Amino acid sequence: MNIALIIAGGSGQRMNQDIPKQFLNVNDKPVIIYTLEAFQRHPNIDKIEVVCLDGWQEILRAYCKQFGISKLANVVEGGENGQSSIRNGLWDLKEMYDENDLVLIHDAIRPMVSEEIISDAIRVCKKYGNSISVIPCAEAMLKTEDGVSSLEQIPRDNLKRTQTPQTFVLKDIVAAHEEALEKGITNSVASCTLYIELGKKLYFSAGSEKNIKLTTPDDIDIFKSLLVTRKSEWMK
């Protein structure tokens, strides 16, 4: 079984809005629903669970009913940071699903995730045991010590920009979070960084420049433009 674990526990302070960014309406639809629809449509996704910002769980359930997200299995409360929110979701999943099921951990504010990205995440995880959606680094990368100047570049050929979904065998990602707690790792930025901090090897699956993360108001404008340009392809 393939389970999408959608992380929607953030408050979105950088968006400077009164409501969390995952619940902002774009063309009369909340951002999170665009994200959920991508997994709802995918033929190889069996169940969806959402880790939701406290106080918004029932609103989310109402939206899912309105927009036909029938794969939604459960909504759990978010934690104090991203790592604890993911852990809350995983602890719930391990009680309900087989330990060998796959878990696709995905940001609620990446609503343009495509069928191809989801499919490749599953394919690579089945082959290697995990998969991290990535894209090449096209920009020149400079290292800085003071934040205002640089004397050193980092070769971009050795760099990947990570996205979500980040996909794991359920028992493996649960064990990683248990190990992290034992070692005092409590605020890792993402599942991929948690694995790296634990010395575990990761494998790459295909991401996309269009799989943007909605962090600032400018990102919403980009998202609206992408909806127009891609509507004929897959936003049906």
57 CB-contact burial (10 Å; exposed 0-12 / middle 13-18 / buried 19+): middle
Please provide the average confidence, as pLDDT, over all residues in the chain: 94
pLDDT tens digits along 46-59: 999 999 999 999 99
The pLDDT value recorded for residue 10 is 76
φ, ψ of residue 197 in degrees (nearest 5): -60, -25
pLDDT tens digits along 94-109: 999 999 999 999 999 9
77 CB-contact burial (10 Å; exposed 0-12 / middle 13-18 / buried 19+): middle
The pLDDT value recorded for residue 18 is 74
Instruction: Please report which confidence band the pLDDT of residue 230 belongs to, taking 50, 70 and 90 as the band edges.
Output: low
pLDDT exceeds cutoff 50 at 234: no
The pLDDT value recorded for residue 229 is 80
In the chain, where does DSSP find H-type helix? 31-41, 57-66, 82-96, 115-128, 170-182, 191-197, 217-230
Query: What does pTM read for this prediction?
Result: 0.93
Structural domains of the chain, with CATH:
2-230 (3.90.550.10)
pLDDT exceeds cutoff 50 at 143: yes
| Token code pair at residue 129 | 């045991």
**10 Å Cβ neighbour count for 9?**
26
Rounded to whole angstroms, the Cα distance separating 141 from 236 reads 38
pLDDT tens digits along 166-210: 999 999 999 999 999 999 999 999 999 999 999 999 999 999 999
Residue pair 92/164 in contact by the 8 Å Cβ criterion = no
